[in-house]
């Protein structure tokens, strides 16, 4: 139950990738037939992604994943537009790939505004409007939170940035191929996505760059991707990503409906336990995300007990779970640090079954009761009652 951290590769994706390791192994930049055959796989995948996004194929650039796409968007736009201004706007709940990139630029003289969110982790478009100055070159707001699942009003924010003549980037790593995305309707100029969150392979992703966007190349090298990102194409990875998107195009809507039912059942089940609160927006949330705080028990302790039972979940972002600091996302939502430590994230996916949700709901109250029995805080609270 940690599909937001990563997903298994779909068997059909593996099948589509295999020929590109040995039979169709040419370098897509080679002009001979062996290279051109491999290039065919790359371009078919690019066309597939472009179709999904409502973009042109020349607007899709392959990268090594979400982190690179975020770095590319933010540094690329910041460096290419320095003559216009040096102000960047982002939000307090972004993934570290966005936040750390913005802080890196801040250390190099760029001005950074980090917008707050409300108790549900929602950004107010009015705050974006207020923060834009004549020096603003880029706004970066994620499409949906990897931790609490809240879906942001990107189209509305996009209207504001378009009017102001400012670029808008969105990190859609958790939504791409899970929810329908039309870059024109979203009014975005740049969008990040990653293969391993949508039943594709790890180490491959893409960035949508709207035609006409002024952006510096991310990697200087052999001129691949129209000079925007040098380096030999990761052909099997790119082909796998394309296949994963093809499958999503067929299955995504039905799958989202199924997941919403499972998610809601899980939320209802958790809420039967005393002192459990749902983190994130009650409605505007990812179909597969359940983030709860179970008062008086450390999220880590509950997760360890669940792991012992063969259930894998997380406290938040897989990338930051090695840190003992409370989640920056929950902190931004005004959740006190001790309560943030009570949080847990369950993210469901293609192979999560009703029976698995039932098993979790059966085990969970007992685990919580055992841990609470060891909590002096809980004991004193019950005594007071």
| Active site positions, annotated | 319
* Alpha carbon distance 314, 326 (integer Å): 13
Which region among 54-62, 64-72, 342-350, 365-373 touches ligand PLP (by CB under 6 A)? 64-72
Q: Which is nearer to ligand PLP, 269 or 287 (CB)?
A: 287
Binders of ligand PLP in range 181-200 (CB under 6 A)? 194, 196
Please state the closest distance from residue 214 (CB atom) to ligand PLP, in A. 23
Q: Kindly state the number of chain residues that form the binding site for ligand PLP, as judged by CB under 6 A.
A: 17
Which region among 62-70, 85-93, 245-253, 305-313 touches ligand PLP (by CB under 6 A)? 62-70
Q: Which is nearer to ligand PLP, 142 or 262 (CB)?
A: 142
State phi, psi for 148 to the nearest 5 degrees: -110, -5
Could you write out the three-class secondary structure of 75-124? HHHHHHCCCCCCEEEEECCCCHHHHHHHHHHHHCCCEEEEECCCCCCCCC
What does 31-57 look like in DSSP terms, one character per residue? -SHHHHHHHHHHHHHHHHHHHHHT--G
173 binds ligand PLP (CB under 6 A): yes
* Alpha carbon distance 27, 272 (integer Å): 57
Binders of ligand PLP in range 307-326 (CB under 6 A)? 317-319
Binders of ligand PLP in range 78-107 (CB under 6 A)? 95, 97
Placement of tokens 């779970």 in the chain: 321
Q: Which is nearer to ligand PLP, 9 or 97 (CB)?
A: 97
Q: Which is nearer to ligand PLP, 8 or 165 (CB)?
A: 8
Placement of tokens 């509950």 in the chain: 302
Q: Which of 285, 289, 333, 328 is nearest to 99 (CA)?
A: 328
288 binds ligand PLP (CB under 6 A): no
237 binds ligand PLP (CB under 6 A): no
Q: Which is nearer to ligand PLP, 37 or 94 (CB)?
A: 94
Which region among 10-18, 59-67, 283-291, 343-351 touches ligand PLP (by CB under 6 A)? 59-67
Binders of ligand PLP in range 107-166 (CB under 6 A)? 142, 146
Given 66, 76, 269, 316, the residue binding ligand PLP (CB under 6 A): 66
Query: Collapsing DSSP states into helix, strand and coil, what is residue 170?
Result: strand
Please state the closest distance from residue 97 (CB atom) to ligand PLP, in A. 4
Please state the closest distance from residue 317 (CB atom) to ligand PLP, in A. 6
Please state the closest distance from residue 126 (CB atom) to ligand PLP, in A. 24
Given 76, 200, 205, 316, the residue binding ligand PLP (CB under 6 A): 205
Which region among 168-176, 231-239, 270-278, 290-298 touches ligand PLP (by CB under 6 A)? 168-176
Q: Strands across the sheet with 190-194, in order?
A: 60-63, 205-209, 190-194, 167-171, 136-140, 87-91, 111-115
* Alpha carbon distance 257, 147 (integer Å): 20
Alpha helices in the chain (DSSP H): 11-17, 19-22, 33-53, 66-80, 96-107, 125-131, 154-164, 183-186, 235-271, 299-308, 328-332, 337-340, 354-373, 376-384
Task: Calculate the alpha carbon distances from 262 to 144, 255, 265, 356 in Å.
Answer: 19, 11, 5, 10
Given 81, 91, 101, 174, the residue binding ligand PLP (CB under 6 A): 174
73 binds ligand PLP (CB under 6 A): no
Residue ranges that bind ligand PLP, judged by CB under 6 A: 65-67, 70, 95, 97, 142, 146, 171, 173-174, 194, 196, 205, 317-319
């Amino acid at each position: 139950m940690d599909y937001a951290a990563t997903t298994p590769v779909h068997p059909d994706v593996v099948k589509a990738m295999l020929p590109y390791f040995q039979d169709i192994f040419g370098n897509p930049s080679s002009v001979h037939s062996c290279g051109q055959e491999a290039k065919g796989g790359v371009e078919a995948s690019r066309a597939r992604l472009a179709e999904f996004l409502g973009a042109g194929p020349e607007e899709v650039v392959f990268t090594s994943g979400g982190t690179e796409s975020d770095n590319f968007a933010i540094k690329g736009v910041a460096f290419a537009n320095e003559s216009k201004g040096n102000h960047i706007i982002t939000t307090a709940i972004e993934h570290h790939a966005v936040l750390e990139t913005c802080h890196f630029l801040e250390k190099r003289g760029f001005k950074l505004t980090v917008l707050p969110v409300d108790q549900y982790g929602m950004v107010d478009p009015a705050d974006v409007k207020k923060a834009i100055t004549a020096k603003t070159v880029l706004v970066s707001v994620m499409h949906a939170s990897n931790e609490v699942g809240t879906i942001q009003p990107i189209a509305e924010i996009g209207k504001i940035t378009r009017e102001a003549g400012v670029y808008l980037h969105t990190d859609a790593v958790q939504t791409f191929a899970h929810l329908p995305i039309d870059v024109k309707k979203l009014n975005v100029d740049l969008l990040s996505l990653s293969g391993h969150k949508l039943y594709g392979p790890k180490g491959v992703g893409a960035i949508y760059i709207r035609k006409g966007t002024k952006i510096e190349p991310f990697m200087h090298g052999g001129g691949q991707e129209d000079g925007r990102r040098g380096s030999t194409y990761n052909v099997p990875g790119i082909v796998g990503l394309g296949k994963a998107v093809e499958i999503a195009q067929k299955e995504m809507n039905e799958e989202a409906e199924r997941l919403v039912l499972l998610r809601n059942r899980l939320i209802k089940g958790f809420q039967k336990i005393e002192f459990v609160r749902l983190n994130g927006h009650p409605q505007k949330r990812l179909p597969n995300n359940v983030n709860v705080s179970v008062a008086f028990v450390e999220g880590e302790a509950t997760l360890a007990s669940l792991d012992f039972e063969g259930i894998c979940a997380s406290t938040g972002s897989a990338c930051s779970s090695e840190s003992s600091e409370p989640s920056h996302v929950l902190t931004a939502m005004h959740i006190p640090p001790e309560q943030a430590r009570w949080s847990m994230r369950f993210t469901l996916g293609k192979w999560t079954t009703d029976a698995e949700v039932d098993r979790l709901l059966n085990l969970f109250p007992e685990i919580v009761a055992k841990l609470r029995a060891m909590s002096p805080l809980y004991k004193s609270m019950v005594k007071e009652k």
